[in-house]
Amino acid sequence: MSDLQEIPDKPLRRGYTTGACATACTKGALLALVNQKKINQVMVTLPIGEEVSFGLTNCSFSTSTAFSSTIKNAGDDPDVTHKAKISAKIWLDDSGEIQFKRGEGVGLVTLPGLEISVGEPAINPVPRKMMETVCKKILSDHNLENKGVVIEISVKDGEQLAKRTLNSRLGILGGISILGTTGIVTPFSAASYIASIQQGIDVAVANNHSELLINSGGRSEKALRKTFPNFSESACVHYGNWIQETFEKINDTEEIKTVTMGIMLGKASKLAQGYTNTHSNKTTWNKEFIYQLAKESGYKDEKATKVLALNMAGRLQEIFTFDAEEAFFQKLLQKCYEHCIKIAPKTTLNIYLINNKNEIIPYKKV
């Protein structure tokens, strides 16, 4: 998963979660089955209490099963599942229970630590509750309370879409997750990424890891894992731009004792200033601050002022040699360390600076 894209400067349309879409399909299919009638549109009550209409792109039925699908609309959010085809196949049994099955393109939970048990389809608790509520209401309305409902959710090309998410890192294999706590997708919200960070830490703990390897993304992780090849994938977490939320979760997780953190030079120049959300829409690097940092590191003004002519933080290595003995980079790492350890003071923290050549510099704590 990459960092969030630039946010467009225009009013943004909201969308609906995979969980809301799966609920719409479940309702449409079950209504088609019990009424033996094609359903083209359904109303779904979202967890926030709002009623929303969903069009069904396909609906078919027999005397024993029914099927319906819809196309997910994520609004203006750059969601990987935008325009994905989500489907539900429904049949009744005599169990009196609502059961969930994994169709094509829906992930399988393979690691402990998530809200869903190992071996279950990756359909989160709130979407499950939404579908259960819909089914129980329809069964009650048709005097079928003694019947059970089997719900099989599928997502077209879901296995391919999942490769653009963090699912495999969380032990969710073979497809995407059916998600959503409100039913609404807020454009360019950080909620889903932050949730994946928190889930990643929970998975690490559930797999008996007391040490994490955290990086902004795949590139920095690849560089650092050359130095630390023995880290299990389930102990590795991408923090993206959300350093604050990552260390808050670490601080609240007493099982995590040690954190090894990789940070790219550009993000480090922002974190050193105290910006724990490093997204380009939120923060920019401050040349004056970096200039003062160079002065504090003992450089003469003749060299330090060169910082003020740079157009991007990654070019700092043109002025200061990218080396563990370079005082400027040690000072930069010191500032990064101080801001992170302030959030998670009980943690043993090791920080490594990474440049665009995948070279790394360790912070040498004094």
| pLDDT at residue 119, as a whole number | 97
Which CATH number applies to 15-185? 3.30.2110.10
In degrees and rounded to multiples of 5, residue 149 shows phi and psi of -125, 130
Share of the chain above pLDDT 90, in %: 77
**pLDDT tens digit sequence for 288-299:** 999 999 999 999
Tell me whether strands 85-93 and 98-102 are parallel, antiparallel or unpaired.
unpaired
3-class secondary structure, 60:
strand
pTM equals: 0.80
Whole-number pLDDT of residue 252: 97
pLDDT at 275: 93
Please, where in the chain does CATH 3.30.2110.10 lie? 15-185
Query: For the residues 29-43, what does the mean pLDDT come to?
Result: 97
Mean pLDDT of the chain: 91
Q: What is the chain's alpha carbon radius of gyration, rounded to the nearest angstrom?
A: 25
More confident residue, 305 or 13: 305
Q: Output the six-digit token pair for 106.
A: 């829906």
Question: Residue 312 region, left (φ>0) first, then alpha (ψ -120 to 50), else beta?
Answer: beta
Looking at residue 289, what is its pLDDT? 96
Residue-wise pLDDT for 88-126, tens only, equals 999 999 999 999 999 999 999 999 999 999 999 999 999
* Strands 98-102 vs 148-155: parallel, antiparallel or unpaired: parallel
Q: Is residue 285's pLDDT more than 60?
A: yes
pLDDT class of 185 with cuts at 50, 70, 90: confident
Length of the chain: 366
Minimal CA–CA distance to 239: which of 227, 249, 229?
249
Task: Give Cα separations from 140 to 45, 129, 147, 337 (angstroms).
Answer: 17, 16, 10, 58
The pLDDT of residue 283 is above 80: no
* Nearest-10 crossing angle of helices 125-141, 18-35: 20
State the pLDDT confidence band at 277, using cuts at 50, 70 and 90: confident
Average pLDDT of span 62-77:
85
What pLDDT, on the 0 to 100 scale, is given for residue 193?
Answer: 80
H-helix or E-strand spanning residue 218: helix 218-225
Residue 69 has pLDDT above 80, yes or no: yes
Give the pLDDT mean for 318-334: 96
